[in-house]
Structure 1
Amino acid sequence: MQIDMKKLSIYITVLLAAALTACNEDFNEGVASPQSYGQEEAAGKITFTATGVDPINLGNVEEESVAVAVFTAPVVEEEATLSYKMKLDNKVTLTVDDKGYVATEDLQNAVAQIYGIRPVERTMNAVLTAYVAVGKTVYAAPAESYELKVTPEAPVIEGAYYLTGSLTFDKAVAFSNKSGDVYANPIFTVTVPALTNSDGVVQDSEFTIQSVSGKKYGTLQAEALEGNLVQKDDANAIQIPAGNDYKSIKITIDMINGTYEVEKLPYANFLWVPVSSSWSPYNSATLSGVDAKLQFGMVSIEKEFKLTASSSWNGGDYGYSYFTTRKGVLPVEGNDNMQVSEAGIYFLKVNLYDDKKEISAVKINSIGLIGDATVGGWDTDAETNMPYDDTEKCWSTTTTLSANHFKVRINKDWNTAIGGSLDALNADGGADNIKLDTPGEYTVKLYLNGRLILIKNNN
C-alpha cells in the first residue's frame, strides 16, 4: 500500500484565544443593566454543562469535523448570540460549533502542538466555554472540565530501519537517526561503499529497506534515485546503475512523508579489512569514521589482516610497516601483514594522518554505556553492560535513558570510548559525549560495522 502523502501533512497551528470584552449595554429591555457584571459573575448567571465523548483516533476519522463534547445550549434571551470555544490543557484554544464538533485538522494540530505527532493516545484536560454576546457585551460560561482522549494521526514510525540487498551483500545495515526519537526527527540516513567487483569496478546494485518489525519497503519506480516508498512484500527494489562517477552511496529516508533519496558520492570514507581467511577486500568488513583518515570498527579476526584504501588491492594497502605507533598488532615474518595474538572480535582504531600513523587492535571483552543519561551515571563501576548477540552481530541492551549525555566504552576503558553524535560517531579519545534529546526506555544496539542505533520502546 502506497503511503498517503496528503494524510501525512502535519501543520502545527497556534490558535489565538478570542479576546473577550465587557461593555456597558442593556442585556434586554426590562432587565437592569449588567454594568457590575464581569465575565466571572456572568458565568454564575448562565447555566452551562458539557460532557466528554469516547476516545478519538484521528487516524480513523475521514470527516472534516469530529465531536469533542456533548452539551445543551444555555437558555439565553432571543437577541443574544452563542459561540463556543474549548481550551485543551490550558494551552490551545479551539472553536467548537453548536453541535459540539471541531475541525478535524484543528484538533490534529492542537494535539501535535501540545504533545507532538507520535500516534499514541493523549489525555487532555478540556474546558468548554459558552460565550453569550448581546450587542457589545460578551459573557463567558465555562462548563466543568472533563478528560478528552485523542490519538493524533501519523504514520507508525518504527525505531530502526535496515538496508539490505546486493548493495550490502544481502547483509542488513542499520540506518542512523541523530535524535533517537523518530517522531522528533523522522529522517534516517546510511552511507555505504558502492558495490564493486574484486577489481574495484563499480557494479549495478539494488536495495530494499526493512523495518525492525520486518516490514519491507521498496518503490514503484525501481530506477528512480528519489521518490515515494511503498510498503509491501513484493515492492520493487531500488536500483543503482553502475558508473565511474561515484565511490559510495548515501541513502536518506523520510518516514513521516514516506520518501527516499539516493546520493552518489565521489569519495568513500572507509577502510576495508581483508583477513587471512579470504584476503578479499571487496566483501570484507569496513572501518568508518569522521573522515577518510580517522577510522574505527569492530572486526572478527582469526589471525592475519591488512587494510586497503578501496574495495580492491589496486587502491593501495596498509601493512605493519606503514604504522609508526601500534597497539595489539604483531608483525608477520616474511611479509607486511599484521596479526593478532588470538582469534576474536577486535576494536580496530586507525589514524592515517602523517603525523600519527597509529593503529590499535583491542580484543573486545565487554561493551557498555556510561554517562549521566544512563542509570549508573558516570560511575565507572556502574556501567550499563551490553551483551553480544551473535545472531544479530551486535552488542545490545534495553535500558532507561534520560535526556542527557553518554558514551560507549569498550572494556571499560576511556581509551576505547566512542562519542560524537548518533549519526556521526567518533572513536577519537577527545570526542564529545553523545547527546540524547528524549528520555525513555531504549533498546541500544552497536553493530560490528560501528553503527549505533537507539530504538525507543513504547513510542
Structure 2
Amino acid sequence: MKNLSKYIAFAFLGMAMASCGDDYNDWANPQTNPQEEAITIPGLTATAADAIDLANVSEDSVSTFTLSTAALPEGFQLADARVEVTPQGVEGATKTTFNAGIEGRAAAADLSDLVVNAYGKRPTARTFDAHVYLDAVKDGQAVLIDAGSINIVVTPKAPYIASNYYLVGDMYGEGKWTLADCVKFNHSDADVYEDPEFTLMVTTTKDNQYWKIIPQGNIDAGNPWEIQNDPKGVLGVTKNGDDAMSGTLVTSVTKDDGTTDAPNAAMIAKAGIYQITINMMDYTYTIKQIAPEYYLVGKLQGWSDKLENKTCLMYAETPMVQSYTTQWKDDANLKIWLGSDWADWNSAYGSATMADANTPTGSLKSANNAGAIICPEPGAFYTFKADFSTMTYSWTKLENQNPTEFENVSLIGVGGKWGDNDDVDMTQVTPHNWFIETTLPVGGFKIRANHGWNAGGNWGYTADQKFTSTGKLFNDGGSGDIKIATAGKYRIFFNDITNEYAIIAVAE
C-alpha cells in the first residue's frame, strides 16, 4: 500500500500545482484534473447488481452495483460514483453517464431515461456495457478511481400492449359479439410502445350501444373471449354500462367478495358518428362525437388557424370518406382539422409516420407531432382523399391538367333575383375551389360562371335531386334550382372541376 499512497500523493501534488494560480477556487470543494487518468486500487472492484426490472421498483433509487472491500490509503474516503454506459447492439451508440452513491444506488428515473432513450419503451431487458468510477477524497482533493467494467441490465417500466386491438359491440348489429364481428383499430406502423394510441371511427344508429375491446392474442386464439380477467385479456370498464366519453380501461374488476372477474362493457349513449381513441400506455380511452366536416390547413391557406381562413372544406363522398381537388402549389404541405377541432394542433390529422410524407398513399394520425402530408408532385392537379374509417389517405393525379378556368363563379337567383347584375360572387380560395358565407332566404338559386349562362358553368340540381347539404351538381343549362327550405346564414363551398358542393348552415 506504500507505493499506492506514494502514487496518490504524486497525483495530489500535480493537482495542487495546477490549482495554485490566479484562478484560485474554493478548496473546500473536491477538485479534479480533467486530464487525470483513473487509477486502480487493488481489491476495489465493482460487481453488477441483479438485473433491474423498473416495473418492480417501488423506491426512488435502485442498486446497480456493489463494491468489494479494500483498504484505502490513510485519510482517504470514497465519494460519489459515476457510471459510464454504452448500450449494447445499438449502432452508433454514444457513451452516457449516470451518477450513483458509493453503495451503487442510482435514481430509478435516471435509469428509466437511459434505457428509453437508447432502446425505446418496450419492456424488454436491455444490457449496457458499464464502467464504474469513484472519487477518493482527502482534504478536499479527489483522485479518480477505476472500479472496473460491469454489465447493467435494465427493463423499462411499461404495461402489456398487444400488437392490435379490436372493437366488438352492439353498433355492429344485434348479437354481433363473435370473432367475425370484431373490427380492428387503426394504428401507425410504429412500435406500439413508441406509439401506444389506436383509433377507430364507428357509426351507431341506435342509442345505448355496449362495447368491449379485444386484444390480438384472443383473435389469434380464434375466440374473442379466450383470455379474460387477465392483464393480457379483454378490456372493458369497471361499471357496467358506463357511458362516459373518457375513462380508464381495465382487464378485471373486483367483486364484493374480493374475487376478480372479467371487466364490464362500456356504452355509447346516443346514436351518431364517433372516434374512439385508446392509449394503451396509460390504459385510457376517449370517445369524440364527430360532425363530419373536415378542413385542410396548410400552404394552400397560409397555415392559418384563424376562423376567417377556415375555407378549405373537404367534400364528403361519405361521412368518413372526404376529398379535395385542386392544383397543389408551392410546397403542397397540408394537415386536416375536424371542424369542431379547428385551431387545436393536438387534434390535427397528419402523416402517421410522424414525419413529413410525400408518398401516394399513407396512414393518418391525429397528434401534434404528426408529419405534414405532401402532394407527390407539387404544382400539379391532384385529388387528395382521406378515409377516416381506415385512417388512410391517397393522392390521385387528374388526367386533365388544364381544366377550364373561370374568372368568376357566383350565386344567382338568391331572393328571386335572376338579373344580369344580381350575381353574388364567391371567392376562389384555392384553384377551382370557391367559397362564400352569406344569408339565403327560402327559395331556389343556382351557381354560374363569369356572370353568364353560356360561359361553360351553369350548375344546379337534376330533375329528381332533393336537397342535401353535400353532394354533386349538374353542369347543364337544363339543371334545376338548388332549393333552400330554411332561411338563414350558410357557408357554401363549390369545386368547379368535380362539381362537388357543400352548403352548411351557420348557427346564430
Q: TM-score scaled by structure 1? A: 0.50
Larger-gyration structure (1/2): 2
* Greater RCO (CA < 8 Å, at least 6 residues apart): 1
